[in-house]
Structure 1
C-alpha cells in the first residue's frame, strides 16, 4: 500500500501533504520505512538504499546515488527512485519527475490491463457444458430429421420438428440459474467478511488445496498486550499499571533500577506515537500552511487532556506496529511517554535521527540518545544506546547483564537463566522482545561526534559489548472461531500453512492453539530429542517448523515437503 502522505520541502519549509497534491518539481524527503510517493531523481543521498523487489524482483536493497549509472535504462540507473519502492536504509531527498499513471509503476499497471486473462475454472466448465449440450441437440435434431424424411413427412414439417427439438434440448435458463447460485454464494461469503471481486472466481475457491496464512492480524487479533517481564533473573506476570493503589499486586516495582532501563528502552527505542488530534486539519492554518512545531505541540496537549482520565488501552495511536504500540500502552501509566521522550531525546546529526530502524534480516533496532542525566545512575552525561529486537540476536551482542541496576559480566549460568525464560514465554505462544543498552565511552564518542548509523561498511559506533536489560513478553490472542475455521479446512482436505516472523517456539505454540499443528511432537522436536535427521523424524510426525533460512535448502531437496506436512 502506498503512503497516503508525503514529506515535501516547499518555500524552505518541511510539510506533510496528501499524495493528490504532489506535483512534478516538488522536493521529497526520504527516510527508512517510507514508500517512495512518486518517481524521483535523487538530489541528496546518505547511504540511501531502496527495495526494488516490487518492480524488478531483486531481493537485495539497491543503492541510490546522485550520478546517473545507466544512460540506456532508467530502471537500472541508481539516481532514480520509483513509486512503490520502499526506503530500507539511509536518508535522502529527491525531486518529483513523474506522478500517477506517468510513473513506472503506473505504466506497468496499464500494461497488465492489456494482457489477455486466462479463463477461470468456472468459465472452462461452462464452455465445455455448452459444447456438449450443443452437440447433443444438433445430433438429436439431425437424427429425427432423417427419420422423419424416411417416414415420408414433408421438409417443412421436418424442419419445424427439428428446430423444436434443438431448442427444447438447449437449457435456456441455465445461465440465469448459475448466476443466481453464484450471487447466493457471494452473499453468504460477504456475511463471513469475505469479499469476492469477480463472481466467476467463487467456483475456483472450491478447488483450493492449500492456504498460506499470515499469523499476526489474520489468525490472531493483532491486539498485543504486555503480559510478562524478565529482569534481575526473575520472570514476572504483569498487567497495565492503571491503579497506583495496586502496586503490591503488579509482580514488579516501577522503582527497580533495572525496570527503569527496561522502561527507557521500551519507550525511547520505539516509533509508536500517540495521536490525540481529531483530524489532520488541526495542523494547518486558514491558508493551508503547516503550523509551526511549537503551536502543534500546544494543540496536541490541549486535546490530550481529554484522554488523561481514560485507560491508555483506549488512547489513539498515530503509527507503530502492534508490538511497539503494546509497549507504550504498558509504560504510559508509569511515566508519560511523550514527557520521557522529551526528557531523553534521540540524538540528531545533520538534522537526521541517529538510529538503525528495525529490519527483518537484522532482527533488531537501535537508537542513540543525547548525553543527559538518566536518573542519577552512574556513568551519566554519556551517550546512551538502546537496542531492541529478537532475544537471541540481542543477547549475542551483549557482554554484560543488568542485575539490580549493576552491570555484571555474562557467564554460563546467566545464559541458562535467559534461555529458560525465553523458552518459557515463547513456548506458551508469547512474542518475546529482548532489550539491551550501552553507555558509549566519553573519550571516543563525545557530544560532537559525527554518528553515522547507516553506511555500506556498517555504523561508525559499536553494536557489540552491550549490557542486557531483560525480556518483555507480549500476547496476541487468536481470533474468535479461527480454530474452528482451520479444523473445517482440514476436514475438507485443505492444507493450512502459517507464515510468521516469530521465533520457532512461539510459532509452534500458536500453531497448536489454532489446530494447524495437531501432532504431539513436531518433526523438529523429535529430531532434537533423538538427535536424528529431520527427514527421518518426519516418519513419526506430520508437522514441521521451517525457518526462513532453511526453507530454500529444504525446498531444493524436496519441493513437496511443505505441502505434505503441517507447517
Structure 2
C-alpha cells in the first residue's frame, strides 16, 4: 500500500537499517525529524545517579541533620540556661555554620575539573564526569579485541589454497617477491573474490606509483588489507570491477558472519552471474560441497576438511584472523542477464558452493596493552575479552596481551571438540576448574547455557575469553557479571553494542571506529581507541575518591575547634572566643584553600595495587 503522506511511510524513520547502502531524500532536519524528537526526549530524561553523587549526597544528608540537631539542642539549652532569644539564635547559627563544609562544593568541582584535563591529555573524552569515579571502582572490564586491544591495522600475511600455506611476502615497494603463485588458477580465483566481494576503495587522487601498502583507503580495516593485496596481485582492481559489475550484495553482519556479492561478467559469452562470498571460515566451509584445487573442482571430502582444520589451528594459533572464500557460477538458464535479484529473502542459492581457500590477516596488539592488562591484574581488575573472532585466534591474542597467562592451562584443551555444540558445552562445564585457570566460551556454547551455568564459569575461572559472540550476547555477559556483584566497564563500537554500553556501569565507546549510536550510549569515549586509556581512567577515578576523602576529613577535623568555643560558652560560661562572623571568615578564608589544595594531591604510590573499592562498604564518610 502506497502512503500519500511521508509521515506514515514505513521507511521514513531509518531505525530498521544498520548495514548496506542507500540514497536518502531530506524532508525535515534537526529536532523536527523523528530522530530529533526522540533525541530531545532522551535528553530530558532524568539521569541515573552515579556512585560519587550518591556518596556526596549521603555525606551532605549526614552533616545537615547533624548540624541541625546540634543547633536545635544548643538553642534549647541556651534558653533553658537563661540566655535571651537573640543570643540563643546566634548560638544556633554559629553551631550550624561551624558544621557546614563550605569548601566541599569547590573541592568537588576542582577534583572533577582536574580529572577532565588529565583525561583529555590522555585521549579520553569523559561525557559524564562523575562516571570517572565509578571507573575507579571497576572490578571487571569486558573489552573488544579488534581496534581496542589491537591496532586495527591489518595486513595480509598468509594464504591457504591447493592444500598449501603461502606467505604473503611483499617488498618495500609493494610488489610480490614470490611470483610463482600468480599463474595458479586457484590463486587467481581467490584474488578475484577478495577484490570484488569487497566494499573498500582507494581514495580519490591515489597514485599507482606510490607504495600500495601505504595508500589511503576507505572501508573496514580488514577489507582495506584485502584491497591492497589484491591490487598487488591482480595489477588493477578497477579494471576487474569495471568488467564484473556488482548487481547486488548482502553486507557482513554478526548473525550470518559472511558477506555476499553477485557480479555479472560483461566480457563473458552469456554475461553470466557469479556469486562471491567471504566470511568466517567455518561458516563458509559448511555452505560448500566442493573445493577448487589445482585447477580442478573436487568433492570437499573429510580429508580436505581435516587439512582445513589443521591450517586454521596453525595460523589462528599465531593470533592471525582468518577469512574463508568461496564462489559459485549461477546457471544462465535460471539467472539470465536481466534477472531481478532479491536479498530479503535471497532468491539465489546459498548452499553447494565451491570453496577456494583462506586468507589470514595480521592485526598486531597495541604495544601498551600487555602493560595495561598487567596493571589491571595488580589493581584487582579482571580483563575479559569479548570478540567475534574465532576461538583459536582470540585465545592466541589473549595470551599475547596477558589476558590469559602464557603458562595458564585452558579448560578447552581438556575436552574433545568433534561433537555437537550442546555436548561440547556440557563437556566444557564438566572440566574441573582446579585443572585450568582459563576458559574460552564460544557464542554457540553461550546460546545453550543457562544463567546459572554462565555464573559458574564467571565464578570459577579468573581468565575468560568469549569468542564468536554477537552484540546481544555481549549484553548477556555484562548482565551476568553484574549479577555476581561486579562493577563492569564495557567497550563497544557498533550500533548493536549500544545496549551493552548502556547496561554496563561504565560504557566506553571507540572514538575512531565507533558509531554515533554507541558514542551516545557510552559514558566515556576513547579518542585513540586504546585500551590503555581505560586503565588511566581507573587510576583517575581512584584519585578522585582518595582526594575527596582527604578533603572531607580535613573539613570535619576543622569543625571540632570551631564548635568547642560555643560549647564551653554555653555550658560553663567561658567568654565566646569565636563569633559566627569569625567562623565564616575562618572557613572561607583559611579552610577553603587547604581543602581545595587537597584536590591537587597526586596518586598514592599503592593506588593501583589496591583491590577495587566496594561501593556498598567503602564509603566516602564512614564511622572512622
If the length of structure 1 is used for normalisation, what is the TM-score? 0.71
* TM-superposed deviation, 1:226: 0.5
* TM-superposed deviation, 1:328: 1.0
8 Å CA contact 2:63–2:100 kept in 1: the answer is yes
8 Å CA contact 1:226–1:239 kept in 2: the answer is no
Q: Deviations over 1:475-506 (max 9, x none)?
A: 11112212222232333333323222111211
* Partner residue of 2:427 out of 509, 533, 553: 533
1:464 partnered with 2:351:
yes
8 Å CA contact 2:156–2:362 kept in 1: the answer is yes
1:314 partnered with 2:214:
yes
* TM-superposed deviation, 1:431: 0.9
**Structure-2 residue corresponding to 1:284:** none
Worse overlay, 355-364 or 78-87: 78-87
Q: Please give the alpha-carbon distance, in whole angstroms, between the structure 2 residues aligned to 1:442 and 1:118.
A: 60
**Structure-2 residue corresponding to 1:25:** none
Q: Please give the alpha-carbon distance, in whole angstroms, between the structure 2 residues aligned to 1:259 and 1:429.
A: 23
**Structure-2 residue corresponding to 1:543:** 438
* TM-superposed deviation, 1:559: 5.3
8 Å CA contact 2:176–2:233 kept in 1: the answer is no
Q: Deviations over 1:387-409 (max 9, x none)?
A: 21111222222233222223233
8 Å CA contact 1:312–1:329 kept in 2: the answer is yes
Q: Deviations over 1:430-471 (max 9, x none)?
A: 11011122333455545x351524243x323x3333332211
SS of residue matched to 1:270: coil
Q: Of the two structures, which has the highest relative contact order with CA contacts closer than 8 Å and spacing of 6 or more?
A: 2
* TM-superposed deviation, 1:244: 7.8
SS of residue matched to 2:54: helix
Q: Please give the alpha-carbon distance, in whole angstroms, between the structure 2 residues aligned to 1:553 and 1:509.
A: 25
1:524 partnered with 2:412:
yes
1:395 partnered with 2:282:
no
After TM superposition, the structure 1 = structure 2 runs for residues 25-104 of structure 1, keeping only pairs within 5 Å, are 66-67=1-2, 79-86=10-17, 98-104=28-34
SS of residue matched to 2:124: coil
Q: Please give the alpha-carbon distance, in whole angstroms, between the structure 2 residues aligned to 1:517 and 1:369.
A: 44
**Structure-2 residue corresponding to 1:450:** 339
Q: Please give the alpha-carbon distance, in whole angstroms, between the structure 1 residues aligned to 2:227 and 2:25.
A: 36
SS of residue matched to 1:544: strand
1:341 partnered with 2:240:
yes
**Structure-2 residue corresponding to 1:40:** none
* TM-superposed deviation, 1:170: 1.6
1:260 partnered with 2:188:
yes
Q: Please give the alpha-carbon distance, in whole angstroms, between the structure 2 residues aligned to 1:321 and 1:245.
A: 23
1:198 partnered with 2:100:
no
RMSD over aligned CA atoms reads 3.3
8 Å CA contact 1:224–1:323 kept in 2: the answer is yes
SS of residue matched to 2:126: coil
Q: Please give the alpha-carbon distance, in whole angstroms, between the structure 2 residues aligned to 1:244 and 1:197.
A: 42
1:358 partnered with 2:288:
no
**Structure-2 residue corresponding to 1:184:** 114
After TM superposition, the structure 1 = structure 2 runs for residues 123-522 of structure 1, keeping only pairs within 5 Å, are 123-146=53-76, 148=78, 153-240=83-170, 242-243=172-173, 247=177, 250=178, 253-276=181-204, 303-304=205-206, 307-318=207-218, 320-347=219-246, 353-371=247-265, 382-446=272-336, 448=337, 450-456=339-345, 458-460=346-348, 462-518=349-405, 520-522=408-410
SS of residue matched to 1:560: helix
8 Å CA contact 2:384–2:403 kept in 1: the answer is yes
Label 1:443 to 1:143 Cα distance change in 2 as closer, same or farther (>3 A): closer
* TM-superposed deviation, 1:153: 4.7
8 Å CA contact 1:495–1:563 kept in 2: the answer is no
Query: Where does structure 1 lack aligned partners over 5 or more consecutive residues?
Result: 1-65, 277-302, 348-352
Q: Deviations over 1:358-405 (max 9, x none)?
A: 33322222333334568xxxx997543322111122222223322222
Query: Where does structure 2 lack aligned partners over 5 or more consecutive residues?
Result: 419-423, 466-624
Label 1:208 to 1:88 Cα distance change in 2 as closer, same or farther (>3 A): same
Label 1:264 to 1:186 Cα distance change in 2 as closer, same or farther (>3 A): same
If the length of structure 2 is used for normalisation, what is the TM-score? 0.65
Q: Please give the alpha-carbon distance, in whole angstroms, between the structure 2 residues aligned to 1:400 and 1:201.
A: 54
* TM-superposed deviation, 1:261: 1.5
More helix by share: 2
Q: Please give the alpha-carbon distance, in whole angstroms, between the structure 1 residues aligned to 2:153 and 2:299.
A: 36
Q: Deviations over 1:118-154 (max 9, x none)?
A: 3322222112211222233233334444555565555
SS of residue matched to 1:217: coil
Q: Please give the alpha-carbon distance, in whole angstroms, between the structure 2 residues aligned to 1:102 and 1:369.
A: 41
Q: Deviations over 1:255-287 (max 9, x none)?
A: 3222211211111111111112xxxxxxxxxxx
Q: Please give the alpha-carbon distance, in whole angstroms, between the structure 1 residues aligned to 2:128 and 2:239.
A: 51
More strand by share: 1
8 Å CA contact 1:555–1:561 kept in 2: the answer is no
The number of aligned residues is 454
Q: Please give the alpha-carbon distance, in whole angstroms, between the structure 2 residues aligned to 1:244 and 1:218.
A: 28
Q: Please give the alpha-carbon distance, in whole angstroms, between the structure 1 residues aligned to 2:353 and 2:223.
A: 22
SS of residue matched to 1:219: coil
Q: Please give the alpha-carbon distance, in whole angstroms, between the structure 2 residues aligned to 1:372 and 1:409.
A: 29
* TM-superposed deviation, 1:545: 2.5
Label 1:434 to 1:189 Cα distance change in 2 as closer, same or farther (>3 A): same
8 Å CA contact 2:291–2:354 kept in 1: the answer is yes
Q: Please give the alpha-carbon distance, in whole angstroms, between the structure 2 residues aligned to 1:505 and 1:442.
A: 40
8 Å CA contact 1:272–1:325 kept in 2: the answer is yes
Q: Deviations over 1:222-277 (max 9, x none)?
A: 11110111112111222335548873xx385323222211211111111111112x
**Structure-1 residue corresponding to 2:614:** none
* TM-superposed deviation, 1:513: 1.9
